[in-house]
Amino acid sequence: MSTPRPHEVTSITGVPASLAEDQRRRLRQYLFQMGLRIVLILAAALLVDGWLMWVCFAGAVVLPYSAVLLVNAGRDRSTRDSSAVQPVQPSEIEATPTPLDDPGPRVVDHTDDTPSAAPDGRKDD
């Protein structure tokens, strides 16, 4: 499993819609397509003649099959923006002023106050 890169922030906005909301959306979509089918049947029967009448009838015949396929695709067709949240850039740290007169390198001497052990394991006295 790979870890996210430091500049990418994981977002939880990709949570799917609730089941009731999904069913409501699918029902509206199906009813719209069946309403369009009724309009095509009425147009073919009452308003148009010739080849356009046959196109309307063909649409009215094919539409129920395609409507069921599209509506039953269900939750997989829903898309949401799940792009990563852009992180806030940290502000720059101001540089500390350097002293004008540079005393040169600093030397620190260290003295050990504990008695040191001799190479053979005896203490120096």
Task: Report d(CA 100, CA 103) in Å as an integer.
Answer: 9
User: Does residue 115 sit within a domain?
Assistant: no
**Which pTM value belongs to this model?**
0.47
Q: Please list the pLDDT of the chain residue by residue as tens digits (125 residues).
A: 555 555 665 566 666 677 888 889 889 999 999 999 999 999 989 888 888 999 999 999 999 998 888 888 766 555 666 666 777 888 888 777 766 666 677 778 888 776 665 556 555 55
User: Does residue 57 sit within a domain?
Assistant: yes
Q: What is the count of structural domains for the chain?
A: 1
User: Does residue 84 sit within a domain?
Assistant: no
User: Does residue 97 sit within a domain?
Assistant: no
User: Does residue 80 sit within a domain?
Assistant: no
Q: What domain range is 49 assigned to?
A: 33-74
Helices and strands, counts by H and E, the chain: 2, 0
